[in-house]
Every structure is written in C-alpha cells, then in structure tokens.
Structure 1
Amino acid sequence: MQVVLGPNRYGKAETRLVRVVRDGDVHHLKDVNVSTSLSGEMEQVHLTGDNAAVLPTDTQKNTVYAFAKKHGLRQIEDFALLLAAHFVDTQPTIHHARVEIEEYLWRRLPERGHSFVRDGTEVRTCLVHHDRDGRSTVVSGLKDLVVLNSTGSEFHGFLQDGYTTLRPTTDRVLATAVTARWRHARPPADYGPSHARVRQDLLDAFAGTHSLSLQQTLYAMGERALTGGPGLCEIRFAMPNRHHFLVDLAPFGLDNDNEVYYAADRPYGLIEGSVLREDAPDAGFAWE
C-alpha cells in the first residue's frame, strides 16, 4: 500500500487586532480577528521536516499588525485581499493564500468622541482566496444576526411517524441567528455600502415573508439579496431555529393565548442552504 500527502495548508489563526484612528477628539475603532492560511510547495516539510518553503506563522501574525499600520484598515475585504496577495506574490513557495476576517462592531456613544459600546452580538465576516495565477475570490458575510417574528409564521403538513409529537401550528414565533455568506461575481466599488445593502435586504425579506417554514424564509432572503443589486452570484445560509414553546399555564388556572413562551436554546433545528444565480461561475474553492 502506498501512502501519499493529500491537500494541506497551515497558518496563524485568530490574530486579534484593534486599530484606533484619532481624528482630533473623534476616534474611529476597528476590532477584527484575522486568520491566515497558506499552501503551496509543502511536500518536504511534511515528508522530511525541511522548513525551507515555510513562512512562519509568527511572520504571518506580524504582517497583519504591520499592514494595519502601513495600509490602514477600512473595509475588511480590502485588507484581506491585500494580505493574501502579499503572501502569494512575495514568497515563491506559496501558491495559494486564504484570509478570513471577523469584525466586531462598536458604536460611538452620543457626544463622546472616544467612548464606545459593543453594537450587539452581530459579527461582520469576509473570506478571501488568492492564487498564484492572480485570481482572487471574495466572500462577504455576517453571523449572529438575531431576528424574530412574533407572528406570521406557520408549520404544518410535515411528515409524521410513530415518533412524531410536534403539533402543527398556524401561528408561531419564528426566531433565528443568521449566518450568511455571499460571493461577489465582481467586486463592488466599496464593500461597505454593498454589505449594508445586502444586510438590509436580508432583514426586509425576513420581516416581509409570511413563513410556512424556515426553509421558505431562507430562500426568500437569498432571492432578495441576489436580485436587490448587482454583483452577487451566490449566497449561503446557516440558520438555527430558535424554538419558542408555549408554556402550559393550565395547572395555574390561566389561559395562554400565544403570550408566554419558553425560549429553548437546545436542541435546535439547523436549516442550511444556498441560493445562486443560474449563471453563477464555479467558486473554485471550498467555502470552509
């Protein structure tokens, strides 16, 4: 039996970076988590321990900090593209770079130029791939966008067997924490407004869809994002169903007309899916 080396990559995960821009008394804050991963001519480091082709992960970390100072950090997609191209273009043994960034959002307190509060749990994301042939692919996204409809959601007509106890309903709470990632067919002029537009499309579709299932809502959100503006070719979702169960108040002599719920955190249904244009080009890489 012959054993060979399969696909591989290495990098520095979760480099935490906070950059403050001081504009007089008004400060601007960027809080990000950067993960870099490189692949290329790595056979010998695996087979013999020869490190001649390896750019140390500590160097990758230092590059993140240095680039934040030299180039600034405005949109995370642009910063990821800059890093990925640098690693591939400056190191002959590196053929592919993957850069993933999470951005944690802060909001300036009113009339306070240098005081901030964390803006909820939502995280902005991006994933960039860059190859030796100069091809770059950008996936923007968000996670932990928590949304809830207190009515306008049903669930019935599903398969049932001897283990089914769930009752059909024509009025339920629908809640989820959206993770969405969208691929750009062509880069926008500015990733900031593009991200804001897609995020608003997702919210509008969630709120405006009378839902018969979370799957139906997922598709409606994807369709709205793809048709709401130019430049996107595919969007992928992971949406946990944050179940809200009516509490039985009958033992206390009380009615419960869709008013008092128990919000369960687990187990939960997990709905995943993608929506794409028919002419969407192949991504050419794994999204993970």
Structure 2
Amino acid sequence: MVVLGPNRYGKAETRVVQVTRHGDAHRVKDLNVSTTLSGDMTEVHLSGDNSAVLPTDTQKNTVYAFAKKHGIGAIEDFALLLARHFVGTQPAVRHARVAIEEYTWERNGSNGHSFVRAGRETRTCVAHVDGSGERVVSGLRGLVVMNTTNSEFRGFASDEYTTLTETRDRILATEVAASWRHAYFPTYWDKSHETARWALLAAFADTYSLSLQQTLYAMGSRVLAECPEICEVRLSLPNKHHFEVDLSHFGLDNDGEIFFAADRPYGLIEGTVLREDAPDAGPAWE
C-alpha cells in the first residue's frame, strides 16, 4: 500500500526592496522571502483537486502587498505577519513557514539617497505559525572573523596517517553561521539581534582558544548570558586554515608573517549550546 507522506509547498526567494522616503533621507530594506505552507493538501496530490491550494504566485503577491500596507521593520515581525496571515485566512493551511534573508545597504556620501551594499554578513530568520503556537529562529551567516594569535592546537589524537604538527600559536579564522531560538519574543527584535551578534564577536575575540570547539561553546554561552530571551544557539564554524609559507628556498625567514589562506579542504566544527531548561523546539528548526 502506498500513502502520501509529509508535504509542503510555497514560493521560494521572493526578492523585495522597499525604499522609504523621509524627505531627502531615504531608507532601504532589501529582503529575500521564502514562504512554505502545509496542511490539508491530500487531494491535490492524489486527484489533482486544487481547491485547497493557494497559488505560489499569490504568496509572492502577498509579500509585496504587505510590504506596502504594513512596511518592513524587523524581519522577524514581517515573517510573523505573513505566517499569521496565511494560517488565519486559508482554512486548509495548518502550518506556515516564512524564511527571510536581509541584505544591508549603507549610505554612500553625504546625500540621503546614495547607498553601497555593505560587506557585512546576511541576517536571517525563520518563523513558524501553526495550531500549537508561534516559533522564531533568528540568526546570521557570512560573518568572517579572525584572531591572529591566542590560538593553539595540540594534544590531539594521532594515528599512522597523522602528519599535522602541534602548534602553540596559530591564526584562527572562521565564517560564522549562527542561528538562535527564542524562548519568548523580545520587545525589540533589532536590539536582540545586535546583542546576540555582539556576544558572538566578543566571545570570539576574548577566548584564548585551545580548539575551535572550545571557541564555539564560548560563543554560544556568551549569547545565552547576554540574551535571556534566547534559549538555544546553533553554530557552524568552518576552520579557515592559514598555513605559514616556507620561504627558506629564497633565503628568507618567515617568523609568523606570511601565510597561505587555504579555501579547501577545511575543518567544519558544528554544535549547539542551550539552556538546561530550554522548552521543546517543536518544528522551529525545520
């Protein structure tokens, strides 16, 4: 016997840019929005009955209409607004998932209308709304950081294939992808995001690292210490290796000055730091 398993559908990567004009001072919000709906969708799969299906084109149009009607503030608020709308207006929809990426623009020059795409990381969020409640995971990706000292790696396991030598002083660099789950919603999403981001950077800078795993735990712990509204932090940290170049062939010494930055292969360190009493995540991470 064959049965239909879990399923969902939606509109992926709707690009919306909002320009808010306050006289000569303009503001830009640049988002990539993906909506996903699930619920009573059995018949569309089994018989092609589309009566329960809200077209993905409609989902796209809703993003644009809501940007105009409600404006775009914190991306978490906008994601929740959309998710609540789909669950609240479509009888067949039981669960709405809205994922948003935000791209930052900074002012260019002294006027109020010229902008340059910022080199900062991408801010992210995923909001879920269904009959059991509302859940939000915020985060960021592409945050590149480096410590030029205060990092060691020694005392590790070895076997007949081990060639890596121990080091008491190395460059530690990574590109942080972090997401954090909220036990309750903060009063101001933007403030919560900035505090979490600051905690990640502060922990990376302040930790004398004996391993990237140790640094990961320090970063997640710092976020939880600074942000009481956050109950769980997930981190993915690729180890961006920097190898000291052998310049002896050219009669030159290299005392920790010249390095080769390797892009692959790379170590990938991933982990979760959470409060002991963290509430059940449900589908928050999906």
TM-score, length basis structure 1: 0.97
Residue 256 and residue 263 in structure 1: after superposition, are their counterparts in 2 closer, same or farther (change >3 A)?
A: same
Q: What amino acid does structure 1 have at the position aligned with 2:182?
A: H
Cα distance in 2, alignment partners of residues 283 and 222 from structure 1: 17
Match of 2:175 among 174, 177, 187: 177
What is residue 3 of structure 1 aligned with on the other side? 2
Confirm whether residue 75 of structure 1 aligns to residue 71 of structure 2: no
Q: Tell me if structure 2 keeps the 8 A contact 1:222–1:235.
A: yes
Deviations 1:193-244 (A, max 9, x none): 1111110011000000000111100000000000113211001011111111
SS in 2 for 1:165: coil
SS in 2 for 1:155: coil
Question: How much identity, in percent, do the aligned residues show?
Answer: 67
Alignment of 1:89-238 (within 5 A): 89-133=88-132, 135-238=133-236
Shift of 1:142: 0.5
Deviations 1:132-180 (A, max 9, x none): 34x1001110000000000011111111111111111111100011011
Cα distance in 2, alignment partners of residues 3 and 155 from structure 1: 53
Deviations 1:26-59 (A, max 9, x none): 0000001000000001111111211111111110
Q: Tell me if structure 2 keeps the 8 A contact 1:149–1:174.
A: yes
Q: What amino acid does structure 1 have at the position aligned with 2:245?
A: V
What is residue 21 of structure 1 aligned with on the other side? 20
Q: Tell me if structure 2 keeps the 8 A contact 1:89–1:132.
A: no
Cα distance in 2, alignment partners of residues 47 and 153 from structure 1: 58
What is residue 44 of structure 1 aligned with on the other side? 43
Cα distance in 2, alignment partners of residues 86 and 42 from structure 1: 18
What is residue 272 of structure 2 aligned with on the other side? 274
Which stretch of the first structure deviates more once superposed, 161-170 or 196-205? 161-170
SS in 2 for 1:52: coil
What is residue 243 of structure 2 aligned with on the other side? 245
Q: Tell me if structure 1 keeps the 8 A contact 2:209–2:215.
A: yes
SS in 1 for 2:118: strand
Cα distance in 2, alignment partners of residues 253 and 96 from structure 1: 67
Shift of 1:23: 0.4
Shift of 1:110: 4.0
5+ residue gaps, structure 1, are none
TM-score, length basis structure 2: 0.98
